[in-house]
Amino acid sequence: MLILSRKKGQSILLNNNIEIVISSIEGDQVKVGIKAPSDVTILRKEVYDAVQESNRQALRVNVNLTNLQKLSNHKKT
């Protein structure tokens, strides 16, 4: 991991097309702006982690295929 010190208004450039700007610093909170191409996905890590966990839980659900088939057949009639 690379650790850099930055002041308000300073920035970091990634891959020549993503700029991370320190917008403001208030106490222990730092506001960060990100300038990136529209095809770059930017997510907060806690949101990404929550989606991944939700996906893992969805995979664990036991599906009774017989009941699912009955439901499907019921809708056709």
- Return the pLDDT at 77: 55
Tell me the H-state helices in the chain.
45-60, 65-76
> Given CA atoms 61, 62, 67, 72 in this order, what sign does their dihedral have?
positive
- Return the pLDDT at 66: 76
- Return the pLDDT at 70: 78
Alpha-carbon gap, residue 33 to 11, rounded angstroms = 9
Chain segment 13-71, per-residue pLDDT in tens: 999 999 999 999 999 999 999 999 999 999 999 999 999 999 888 887 776 777 777 77
Alpha-carbon gap, residue 76 to 63, rounded angstroms = 20
- Return the pLDDT at 65: 74
Q: What are the sequence ranges of the domains in the chain?
A: 11-76
